[in-house]
Amino acid sequence: MKRFYNKFQKMGGYIAAMALIICSVSCTSMNDPYQDFIEGGEIIYPAKSDSVMFAPGKNRVKLNWIVSDPAIATTKIYWRNKTDSVIVDVEAAKATSISDTLSVEINNIAEGVYTFQFINFDNDGNASVSTEVTGQVYGDAYQQTLLPRLVSSSSFNVMKNKLTVVWGPPSSSDLFDTQLNYMDDSGMEHAIIVPREQDSTVLKNYALGNGFNHSTYYVPDSLAIDTFSTNDVTTKAEQVQLANSGPDFEHGKWDGSRWGNIKDWEANTAVKTRTAQDGSLVGGFDNYNGPGHLGFERWSSSEMTITDGKVYQEITLPAGTYTFSAFFNDNDPGKALGLGTSPQAEVYLAAAKGNTLPNIADLESNALNHKFLEMPSTEIEFTLNQESDIAIGIVGTMEGTRQNVRISEVALRIIELQ
C-alpha cells in the first residue's frame, strides 16, 4: 500500500511540472502580437456619456448629458455621419450648470431626423466609447400642418350678455392650448387661455358686434424647447340665444295644467284667452301633451276670437343679416299648426323694428320680413343697417274653430355682422 502511494505521488509531481511548462509557453505565445502596444502601460478608456437627452425645437436642438469621470476634459458631439461636430469644454460647461447635467444648443439646423454621437476625451486624447441619441428637429414643414382649434359653435345669450364658444376636439395630440382674445362691451380687453381638455369657454360682458380672435399652440414633443402657434383667426357669434327659446318653453303664471303666460316673452291682450289659477287671463304658453310650447288656440266657437294676437321678444341687435326660425316637433295639425275651419287662421313669423310687432294688415309695409307659418319649420331673413331695437315672434288671427299654433323651438342665427 505504501509503495503504491509513493508511485502515484511521483506521477503527480511529473504532471504538475508539465502543466507549468505548457502554460508558460502558451501565455508567452499569446502575448507576442500585443507586446508592442502594452509595453507603455494599459490602454485607458474614459467613461462614456450617460443620460443623453434630445430636446427638439424649431430649427434647433438642445442636447443634455452627464459626465461622471473627472478625467474627462472635452465632449465631442458629431452628427450628419460625423460631417458636423461641436466640442464642449467639460470644465467650462460644469461651471455654468446648476446640476451634473451638461447641455449645449445647436442652432440653425435644418428640419429632419438626426442622430448625435457623444465621445468623451481626457487630456491625453484618449477617447471613450460613443453614446448615441436620435430625434426630430422641427421647422416650417411641421408648422404648415398645424390648424387653429375649430370653433363648433358660438352662441350669444341675450339675458346674460355672454357668449358661449363651443370647441371642436383637438386636431392633434400635439395641441397644447389656445389663447382667445376679445373686447367686452366696456372696451376692456381680455385674454383667456383654453386648455386642450376644455370643451367650451364663456366670454362675459360680450359685445355682440365684436368678434374674438384665437390662436392655437402646439408642442411637438414632451421635451420640446419651442412652442409652435397658428395665425390668429377672427370669429363672430353665430347664434343669438333668445331667452326661453325652447325646446320645452317655461311658463309664468298659469292654470296649473296647460295654459299660461310664457316666461321672458311679451303676449298682448288678444292672446290671453285662458284663465289662470288666480282668475286672471293668460296666454302664449300651451302645455298640450307636454313639453311646453309657444302658441295659442281657438278650438271651439264658444271661445274668444283672437285678432292680431302677438307673442314676441324685444332685443337689440347690431347691424347685420339674421335669420329667425320657428320649429314644430309634430307634423299633425291638431298638435302643431292647425288652420281650422273657415275663416282659416292666419299666423305669421315676423321681425320688425321697434318694441312690438305690426298687425297682420301692416306686416307688408312695417315688418323687416314676415312669412306664413308652415310645418315642420319656417324661417325669415332680415337685415339691419345699424344697431336697432327689434321685436321678433309671431302674430296671428283665429276667428274660426279648431285653430292652434304650438311652436316647439325658435332660433335667431347670425348670417353676417357688418
Enumerate the domain spans of the chain.
50-138, 145-238, 251-417
Compute CA distances 84 → 125, 150, 188, whole Å.
20, 42, 52
Exposure on the CB side of residue 353, measured as CA atoms within 13 A: 11
CA distance 262 to 272: 11
Measured between alpha carbons, how far is 69 from 87 in angstroms, rounded to an integer?
17
Q: How far apart are CA 103 and CA 133, in angstroms?
A: 14
Question: What Rg value do the Cα atoms of the chain yield, rounded?
Answer: 42
| C-alpha distance across the termini of the chain, in Å | 125
| Residue 417, strand partner residues | 320
Q: Do domains 50-138 and 145-238 have the same CATH topology?
A: yes
CATH H-level superfamily of 50-138:
Immunoglobulins (2.60.40.10)
Second CATH level (architecture) for the domain 251-417: Sandwich (2.60)
- 212 CB contacts (<8 Å, ≥6 apart)? 163, 165, 180, 181, 182, 203, 234, 235, 236
Q: Taking the complete model, does pTM exceed 0.85, yes or no?
A: no
Residues present in the chain in total: 418
Average pLDDT per run of 10 along the chain, which is 418 residues long?
37 39 38 43 83 97 94 96 95 85 95 97 95 97 96 92 95 96 95 97 93 96 96 94 94 96 97 96 93 95 96 95 94 81 94 98 98 96 96 97 95 93
Q: Find out whether 78 and 116 touch, Cβ atoms under 8 Å.
A: yes
What is d(CA 17, CA 23) in angstroms, rounded to the nearest whole number?
10
Domain 145-238 listed as CATH 1.10.10.10: no
